[in-house]
Amino acid sequence: MADLDEKRPLVKSEPVDEIPIPVAAAPPRPRRAPLVPRWVRLLLKLALVAWCWLSLRNYMRAKVDSVLEMHEARWLASALSDSRPAMLGHPHRRGKVLFGKKAEQKFLTVPNAERANAALRQYASKPHLAGSPGDFETAKDFLKLLQTELGVHAPSEPPVFSAGTPESRNATLSITKLKAPAAWIDTYYPVMNTPLDHSLEILDEDGNAVWTAALEEVADNTDPEAGKYYDAVTTWHGLSKGGSAKGKLVYANYGRKEDYDELVANGVNLNGSIVITRYGGIFRGLKVKGAQEHGAVACLIYSDPRDDGPVTSENGYAPYPYGPARNPSSVQRGSAQFLSIYPGDPTTPGYPAYENSTRTNATNIPSIPSLPLSWANAQVLLEEIKEGGQNRTISLVNNVDDKVIPIWNVMGVIPGHIKDEVVVVGNHRDAWVMGAVDPSSGTASIHEVIRGLGELLRHGWTPLRTIVIASWDAEEYGLVGSTEWGEDFVDWINEHVVAYFNLDASVGGSRFAALATPSLAHFVRATAEEIEHPTRPGKTLWDATKDHGVLTGDHVDAEALAVYEAYHSNATSDSTGVGLLGSGSDFTVFVQRVGVASNNIGFQATLQDPVYHYHSVFDSVRWMEVYGDPGFARHVAVAKHLGLQVVRLADSIVLPINTTHHSFELERYLDEVESIASATNLDVDFSGLRSAIRSLQKASLKLDHEKTKAEKKLRKLLRRLAVRHYLRRSLRRAACGLKKLLGKECAHHVDRDAAPLSGPHVHAEKAFECSSMRNGKSGLLPFKPRIGRAPAWAKEQREHELLEADADADAGAAAFGGKKHRFPVKKFKKAAKRVRAVNQKLKAFERGFIHEDGIKDREWYRNLDIAPGKWLGYGATTFPALTEAFTIEKNATMARYEAKRLQKLIEKLAHQIKV
């Protein structure tokens, strides 16, 4: 028991009846409301998640955009071209390749006023009449420009090829096979003429001269070039008839058809007369044609200051070179060709003027002599025939030398990825004397375009489509250089050329004007709206279409004003504000003979501008620098607009050709014909033609839908490819970084989306061989001998850069032909094929208006949609064959025939563009 007692724990004895005092519970604290409500916190969390998601998405989008910026051009080229494109950019340098908007932005930084002014001085400081030694010098200057800017090797002998030879034909026909830029000169051999001697006299009753005209212009050293070269090229009409004539003067106003009709209606007999007309309204050659057809023996054409608006001495303006008004001795030279019959070499209509070409009797040149006159001389003659005048006999001599004269077209090529789609841009180079405005302002602007394209090439740019640059010759004689090239390569143009951009004189005044086939009207205007106004901050180049000069005066000839307004109203008849192309410049063969979407841009003179001395010795550098474009901002604006159009169209996935706008314009043309027909007693049914036009409109709207879907699908696939490329590269780099953390080497990896490296950029290193191999021994050294460390290190670095560069630049190429890839190769190829099919239909649209039989009495012109008016020359006539069946032929049978012919053409076109 004692042991048990010892093991009992000691327990404090306490009274049994003592109860512990309970602890009082703390009262519950009142629950405080949260500072931020729960729903707000939920919203904040959701906003945070959304912000994170948006940030990640924007980050991914930026990265994918960066990938697209680097590779889009190559991927598009791989998809749209038949062969794998060459590597883009510098082969030893990684970086983004210029394409699309980036290329456009880079181009727009290049043209500048100082260089444009220098180019104008280079080309317009000396006479360079077509076929002259000065002309050939400018051809070589332009060739050198192309070689320098495009990176073309200059051979020891200039590449000058005689048209029709294998060298010349191969140069153009191989454009679609070129892999590097090229440049050359083609020589054609048209029949033209040069002046020998001329005179103009008033004779008394005995046949003695009582007045002899001073036919040459009068200039002094106030204008240095004009003073030096005032008689370098005499005043005469190119392609005019040589010979002499005597007769009484008859005044025929502007020499238009309606002017001659009025004379006949008033009983005036023109047989044996010498007609005197003033410039304006229509092409000068048609004034001579009208005189010839009414029995006149010669024609005189003078420059009338009434057509200069308010800028005359009557309104207090000093004549040039002391002020902005017309120099009274200035003379407008120019071609007397019947332009609306056919352009080009008069002796080879429809085929090229080779040195050994068979010649025909020309039907588009006059059979009576003509001379251009100054206002100073015209005043004397007009005094003779005014009421109370003596009306003495006039004697005219115009001796010329008709002969084959070589001319030189300069051609340059920038190969694109899509070899069989070609964009052509052209400007003529020849001038009647120095031609600072016509054409050298255009040459100066295209000089800046070429510099801009050269800068893009030096930054790794390759256009999606091939670009051809042309400097045409002998345009002034009658569009000769471009026409001969067009006739020489008509099949090649028809197959490959998707658009032609023309630049004649880029600056002659203050108002910007654009002419185009209606399918390019929206494109021309949209690009002009992206170029800054040359003189008014905050405005665009398109705003300059409303500009005018600041010179005013109280005395303005009402008739001259009406003719000016009528001409410009017709020129801007398209609903977009873009004018219609008739003829008068080098777009003619492309639009009228082949059917190529084309345009022509430039600043033109208004009646409030300083007088532009067209085709005169006063068309000089000084006039341009003082009056035409001081500061050369307009030259630069035109260069930017032209270059932007070329770059954008060359790089566009779907050609920016608006067939729907054109097809709806056709109905407006028909409304005009119906209006003309309603004023006659000719009964013609247009219901079939209108139905065909509406069928074309429906087909075009469906084509619009198809081209939108086709481009959207291809861009969607391009983006998927970019996402895939970015994710693969990111994962690869992450894995590489992890290996490095673990102390392992990260081998260089060529992207699985890249095609196998090949070509000139990657070379297998050949093992070093020693002399013992000759004895049948191994001979392979166990090491690679080096001569110094630096060369070997540099070589390794280059190989490393090549691998990285090709891995990036070729990324995705295998998606178009490789195997074992998850990317939808078939879908990509299908999408690309769909785009190509759309582009073929867009290219074919303008071709659809070409009819092989042409227009009555002028079959060279084959476009039944728009052509130069038979009695206009420059200006356009819509539905020309049908319209002239009413206005000129006044024949119901012919009108029905033309309506039916046009209907069939449009029905065929609707079927051709059907999707």
Contact in structure between 481 and 474 (CB atoms under 8 Å): yes
Reading the block at residue 425, the tokens are: 């841009």
Q: How far apart are CA 883 and CA 885, in angstroms?
A: 5
∠154-159-161 over CA atoms, to 5°? 170
Phi, psi of 417 (to 5 degrees): -75, -40
Could you give the 3-state DSSP secondary structure of residue 185? strand
Three-state SS annotation for 597-658: CEEEEEEECCCCCCCCCCCCCCCCHHHHHHHHCCCCHHHHHHHHHHHHHHHHHHHCCCCCCC
Name every residue whose Cβ is closer than 8 Å to that of residue 447 and which is 6 or more positions away in sequence: 115, 116, 119, 145, 639
Could you give the 3-state DSSP secondary structure of residue 868? strand
C-alpha distance from residue 66 to each of 96, 427, 694 (Å): 8, 37, 45
Q: Which of 475, 476, 487, 665 is catalytic?
A: 475
Burial 561-588 (b: 16+ CB within 10 A, else e): eebbeeeeebbbbbebbbbbbbbbbbbb
DSSP string for 417-450: SEEEEEEEEEEE---SS--TTTTHHHHHHHHHHH
Is beta strand 274-278 parallel, antiparallel or unpaired with respect to 298-302? parallel
| The CA-based dihedral angle spanning residues 519, 524, 525, 529, taken in that order and rounded to the nearest 10 degrees | 150
Q: How far apart are CA 270 and CA 292, in angstroms?
A: 9
Q: Which residues pair with 404 in a beta bridge?
A: 191
Q: Which of the 8 DSSP states describes residue 590?
A: I
C-alpha distance from residue 152 to each of 195, 472, 473, 854 (Å): 38, 20, 22, 40
User: How many beta carbons lie within 10 A of that of residue 867, not counting itself?
Assistant: 29
Catalytic site includes residue 475: yes
Phi, psi of 462 (to 5 degrees): -130, 125
**Annotated catalytic sites, by residue?**
475
